[in-house]
Amino acid sequence: MRAVVVEQWGGPETLVEREIERPVPGLNEVLVRVHAAGVNPVDWKTRASGALIEWGAAPVVGWDVSGTVEAVGPGVGVFRPGDEVFGMPLFPRQAGAYAEYVVAPARHLAPKPASLSHVEAAALPLAALTAWQALVDTAEVWPGERVLVHAAAGGVGHLAVQIAKARGAHVIGTASAAKHDLVRSLGADEVVDYRDVRFEDVVSDVDVVLDGLGGETAERSLKVLRAGGRLVTLPGPDDVPATPEGIHAQWMLVEPDHLGLREIAALVEGGRLKPVVDTVLPLSEAAKAHSVGEQGRTTGKIVLTVA
């Protein structure tokens, strides 16, 4: 099968298309013919250094997939060949989404929302599960709470705005002025131009902050939280600031989640969640996709077409 492999850790130019052996599904696994693969910051970060990911013999980056079940292994009862599925299998182990086929544990996937194309569905899993697990499972956002989402037009942020709104929250997003209309259209009640003002000067009494930036943003976010507030930071454990009494802060790493995917799909089918796809490129241009993503200007998601 065709796959994009990392020949050596480094820049986008290290991504090369190769023919590698097609995987075979084992116990409780399915073989998925990949129609589209989402591109996420973790893809280019691991491509650059390998990070702490458990890589296979041929390192193939990527986790977000949308496609069709080609074959099922022994013990699988939830899918049949021909079913359309989407998911983020195996993270943080190698899934190898930048390829024509992926093998995944059956319950790391879920039925693809019928209202979405494969390109749109491939934009969802990692970013939407990150937002869901941060806001719903970790921060436990309740109706009426005030939620601040940093980088609200980004891959995780634009989905987090919609998920928080679907939970009944009052949503505040930070974004550059050019992206304010988009963020409002996603459901944000307030939008702050982080280039024009310091968000802590104009935002207060927040119950939950979702921080996808880390660094000083996490520290500054403590100033906007009310007593009992929760900060969830995504970049890494080193970005969790020391907190005053009554404030809780923690790092969260996304994980495969069959039930979470079903909840996300239900929001999609209910018209309450839709991914924004910024750029679509063929698998052969994975290096270009990484170059575009690393500029940090993407609105929504980048997706590779495979099938």
pLDDT digits (tens, 9 = 90+) for 241-252: 999 999 999 999
Say what the pLDDT of residue 307 is.
87
The residues of the chain scoring below 50 in pLDDT are: none
Residue 272's pLDDT is what? 98
Fold classified for 2-124+275-305 = Quinone Oxidoreductase; Chain A, domain 1 (3.90.180)
| Nearest of 48, 96, 221, 53 to residue 147 by alpha carbon | 221
Q: Is 200 left (phi over 0), alpha (psi -120 to 50) or beta?
A: alpha
Q: Provide the pLDDT for residue 51.
A: 87
Domain positions in the chain: 2-124+275-305, 127-251
Q: Give me 237's structure tokens.
A: 């454990």
CA atoms of 58 and 247, how far apart (whole Å): 44
Cα–Cα dist 254/249, whole Å: 16
- Going by C-alpha positions, the residue among 133, 117, 164 that lies closest to residue 277 is 117
CA distance 126 to 161: 15
The pLDDT tens digits for 213-255 are 999 999 999 999 999 999 999 999 999 999 999 999 999 999 9
β strands within 137-261, DSSP E? 146-149, 170-175, 190-193, 206-211, 225-233, 248-251
Residue 151: what residue type?
A
pLDDT at 233: 97
d(CA 170, CA 147): 6
Residue 164, token pair as written in the block: 């928080």
Q: Are the C-beta atoms of residues 67 and 27 closer than 8 Å to each other?
A: no
CATH homologous superfamily, domain 127-251: NAD(P)-binding Rossmann-like Domain (3.40.50.720)
Geometric angle at alpha carbon 46, from 43 and 49, rounded to 5°: 150
Instruction: Please give the model's pTM, rounded to 2 decimal places.
Output: 0.96
**pLDDT at residue 297, rounded to an integer:** 87
pLDDT of residue 111: 98
Q: In 3-state terms, what secondary structure has residue 280?
A: strand
